[in-house]
């Protein structure tokens, strides 16, 4: 759908019929390419490790935007816990909620909009808090990138995640295999693992805060070299670590290909007449 909207119907047909392994490799190459984009700024001396941290926070924003698209188009099934009234199986047409112990049928479109709105608020607060922490660290390390350079990197990351969404979620049919609740939970685990690793390695490589609030390399570290420039090598290490983790999580997330799997029973069976 998204590829057709963008005028790429031929690409939609192509990626929808290609082998699952080929689709995963294609999006993996795009992901690695987008992750290595900040490397150019590092090697030219325009960026340091602090700028890399800001870049990965901006990627959270891009991921969140595309997750809203997924929530608004999810067609799979999942089990949603009711309020003290057991569990209800949801499908893309209707969602059963429990209000005061009584089942209430909601249109699938209404439920998707509601869950997407909740996600925007919850994920938005998470991103803001995480952003404050990230910018404090980045500022103390030094931010040398311009608004233009950060905007360009954000657009690259946004496009990368957008193409991955178009290929896997729409063309390959992952939206038919994921319900609302499962879709809403998707980005949190990835972000948690990635940023704990990135921020942890940032402290490990850069060392403790100095008295003037800046961050310096660990004395005696192999990265503590005058020729390396301002936090260039730590930035390279952060990029390498994050890219490796991102690639592993990406392959894990798309290891099951819905194109070759049977559609969910609830998605194939029309609602019974009442």
SS (H, E, C) 116-149: HHHHHHHHHHHHHHHHHHHHHHHHHHCCCCCHHH
Task: Give the pLDDT band (50/70/90) at residue 260.
Answer: low
Any residues with CB less than 8 A from the CB of 128 and at least 6 apart, and which? none
Question: Among 205, 253, 243, which Cα is nearest to 37's?
Answer: 243
Rounded Cα–Cα distance for residues 3 and 17 (Å):
14
Which long-range CB contacts under 8 A does 20-23 form with residues at least 24 apart?
20/172, 20/257, 20/259, 20/260, 23/167, 23/168, 23/172, 23/254, 23/257
The residue written with tokens 């809403």 in the block is 184
- CB under 8 Å to 151, separation ≥6 — which residues? none
Strand partners, 37: none
What pLDDT digit, counting tens, does each position of 118-140 carry? 999 999 999 998 898 889 888 88
Tell me how far apart the alpha carbons of residues 65 and 52 are, in angstroms, rounded to a whole number: 20
What is the pLDDT averaged over residues 100-115?
Answer: 78
3-state class of 90 per DSSP?
strand
Sketch the domain layout of the chain as residue ranges. Answer: 2-75+108-262
Q: Is the pLDDT of residue 205 over 50?
A: yes
pLDDT at 86: 36
pLDDT in tens, 214-256: 445 444 443 444 444 445 777 888 899 889 989 999 998 888 7
Residue of 1 and 73 predicted with greater confidence: 73
Residue 98 has what pLDDT?
56
Record the tokens describing residue 225, joined without a space: 């070299």
CB 23 within 8 A of CB 156: no
pLDDT at 262 over 60: no
When comparing pLDDT for 52 and 9, which is higher? 52
Alpha-carbon distance of 274 to 256, in angstroms, equals: 36
């Amino acid at each position: 759908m998204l590829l057709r909207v963008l005028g790429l119907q031929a690409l939609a047909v192509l990626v929808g019929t290609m082998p699952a392994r080929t689709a995963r490799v294609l999006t993996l190459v795009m992901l690695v390419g987008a992750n290595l984009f900040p490397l150019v700024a590092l090697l030219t001396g325009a960026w340091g490790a602090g700028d890399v941290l800001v870049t990965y926070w901006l990627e959270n924003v891009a991921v969140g935007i595309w997750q809203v698209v997924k929530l608004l188009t999810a067609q799979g099934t999942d089990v949603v816990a009711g309020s003290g009234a057991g569990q209800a199986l949801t499908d893309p047409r209707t969602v059963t909620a429990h209000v005061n112990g009584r089942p209430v049928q909601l249109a699938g479109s209404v439920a998707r909009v509601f869950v997407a709105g909740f996600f925007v608020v919850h994920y938005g607060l998470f991103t803001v808090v995480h952003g404050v922490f990230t910018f404090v660290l980045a500022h103390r390390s030094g931010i040398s990138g311009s608004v233009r350079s950060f905007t360009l990197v954000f657009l690259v990351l946004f496009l990368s995640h957008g193409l991955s969404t178009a290929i896997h979620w729409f063309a390959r049919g992952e939206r038919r295999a994921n319900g609302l609740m499962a879709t809403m939970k998707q980005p949190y685990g990835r972000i948690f693992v990635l940023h704990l690793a990135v921020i942890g390695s940032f402290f490990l490589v850069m060392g403790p805060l100095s008295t003037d609030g800046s961050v310096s390399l660990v004395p005696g570290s192999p990265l503590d070299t005058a020729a390396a420039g301002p936090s260039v090598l730590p930035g390279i290490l952060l990029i390498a670590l994050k890219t490796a983790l991102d690639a592993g999580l990406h392959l894990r997330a798309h290891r099951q290909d819905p194109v070759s799997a049977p559609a969910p029973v609830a998605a194939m069976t029309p609602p019974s007449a009442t």
